[in-house]
Amino acid sequence: MNYRNDIRNVAIIAHVDHGKTTLVDELLKQSTTLNARTQLQERAMDSNALEQERGITILAKNTAVDYNGTRINILDTPGHADFGGEVERIMKMVDGVVLVVDAYEGTMPQTRFVLKKALEQNVVPIVVVNKIDKPSARPEHVVDEVLELFIELGADDEQLDFPVIYASALNGTSSLSDNPADQTETMAPIFDTIVEHIPAPVDNSDEPLQFQVSLLDYNDYVGRIGIGRVFRGTIRVGDQVALMKLDGSVKRFRVTKIFGFFGLQREEIQEAKAGDLIAVSGMEDIFVGETVTPFDHQDALPILHIDEPTLQMTFLVNNSPFAGREGKWVTSRKIEERLMAELQTDVSLRVDALGPDSWIVSGRGELHLSILIENMRREGFELQVSRPEVIEREIDGVKCEPFERVQIDTPEEYMGSIIESLGTRKAEMQDMIHTGNGQVRIIFLAPARGLIGYTTEFLSMTRGYGIMHHTFDQYLPMIKGQLGGRHNGALVSIDTGKATTYSIMSIEERGTVFVEPTTEVYEGMIIGENSRDNDLTVNITKAKQMTNVRSANKDQTSVIKRPKKLTLEESLEFLNDDEYCEVTPENIRLRKQILNKNEREKSQKKRK
């Protein structure tokens, strides 16, 4: 068998925040790819504004570097399980993975999640223990943890014999020794290990073409772009080829453009051979998992599995009293167009129309959906969304719901209250490890329904010292009854106008206020959280009566507490079934679905 020794295809996988994207930056800087004039910004691969702000990778990115005559194609993958669909499909495109693990945190839930996907595809692993320069680094323990994880996930002997490199991506240093003093300013150990250990792609470019699409991109000029790997044969610009659709039909089209990846650029190329990672345009309705073959030799590759959504929300046209004031795009036609455009590139998303002005949008988790909402808000859209709900399924005649694997790292003193609070949400404790320094790691299996809205409660319970990660585990039989949700009622405005300091002072003893003085409010808008479990309507627009009688203690300065500002994620967690979150480019407001107090009470009586 012939091999293309001049190429290696590898993906970089890791738990969120263990340094994948920073490592890719360093590999780019230290290869012979970029010319000396190129100034790399920090985390150059995270090109989207939200990725830059949150320091997370949302979409998989590809780049290629040259190292001593070998082209290494590198795919930077997302670490959050909400974007797990991307990770799974990328494993099909590569022959090896670089697993990045933090030298202090060790293996985390998403490390487990991404490694499991890699081992299922039988790719060759290399382990990089990153952040070795941390004073708290414990490299030997971490390598043992990784080995245990490999064994637990059923790796074979060949996979268990993985090479380990120790690095600090931030400082651009690496070495094969676990002593931080041996670090040198080079990425050569990583490059050399990739070239030595990762198998070269098979060269069967004289056989009939097979190219499979694993990722989608969209561009206003050329339409949809299919990104994937040439598994067999050669593809050239101008070729007439067959696109084998997922539903079994076959479409004919002509390859208009082929792009190769190099550094941070896409370059137009004329042809690509087996083993190359490329982007192809010219097909209108190409989709992930479809195969491109010659017309006279139709031989489709196995269809790629795409993770099903587990969470859904209703998106609605904004119909609050302040609708249309702040947004640029407010009509149902514009919102629907935007959701359809998102479907062009995000394969884990589903959109179903409920009526002319509302849609059910299903995704992989709260983060997945909140990032879509945040992107729309920044683009000038106004919309309303309902509380997130889990998607139930029937499996073998039994009603099932999604369960998540939850890993919590916390100081020991908060352990009791965490176990108790998750117990009321029907979570089952699976493991508990004392990690030293008064810290403990607890693993739970919990229904996803019970975790909606848990983060805020968890953070206040552990005073911000606890860290929680959760990933989808499996569908299990449904647990009866109400789980989780908010315990306290809402403070609801009874009037429309501007909030005053005078009325905020009198409302403060009733609960937590969310709005500042002079904020515009409307009837039915939620302006705070009640300290009791019932909703309370309050007048927040009342001004102080002015009289001409002076009193002795006049002119005492009114001091009010700083209002609690909710982020988009916190607002979605706060919602109850009878409430909406109104999202505009300038504001995030919470409101009751029925704004009028009397009508709201009537409908509650009917429900009971």
- What are the domain boundaries of the chain? 7-197, 210-294, 311-390, 393-477, 490-544+558-607
Annotated binding site for GTP: 17-22, 130-133
State the pLDDT at residue 58: 40
Query: In degrees rounded to 5, what are phi and psi of residue 83?
Result: -110, 30
Are 311-390 and 393-477 equal in CATH topology? yes
On the 0-12 / 13-18 / 19+ scale of CB atoms within 10 A, 505 is middle
In 3D, which of 105, 128, 156, 157 has the Cα closest to residue 11? 128
User: How far is it, in rounded angstroms, from Cα 350 to Cα 149?
Assistant: 33
> What pLDDT shows up at residue 50?
47
Task: Report d(CA 309, CA 304) in Å as an integer.
Answer: 16
Q: What is the pLDDT of residue 493?
A: 94
Counting as low any pLDDT under 50, the low residues of the chain are 33-48, 50-52, 54-60
Distance of alpha carbon 201 from the chain centroid? 31
Assigned CATH class of 7-197: alpha beta
490 near 590, Cβ under 8 Å?
yes
Annotated binding-site ranges: 17-22, 130-133
Contact in structure between 359 and 351 (CB atoms under 8 Å): yes
Query: Which CATH number, 3.40.50.2300, 3.30.70.870, 1.20.140.10, 3.30.465.10, labels domain 311-390?
Result: 3.30.70.870
Is residue 569 within 8 A of residue 366, CB to CB? The reply is yes
Residue matched to tokens 């599995």: 305
In CATH terms, is domain 490-544+558-607 a member of 2.40.50.250? yes
- Domain 210-294 -> CATH class: mainly beta
The tally of CA atoms less than 13 A away on the side-chain side of residue 389 is 14
Classify domain 393-477 at the CATH topology level.
Answer: Alpha-Beta Plaits (3.30.70)
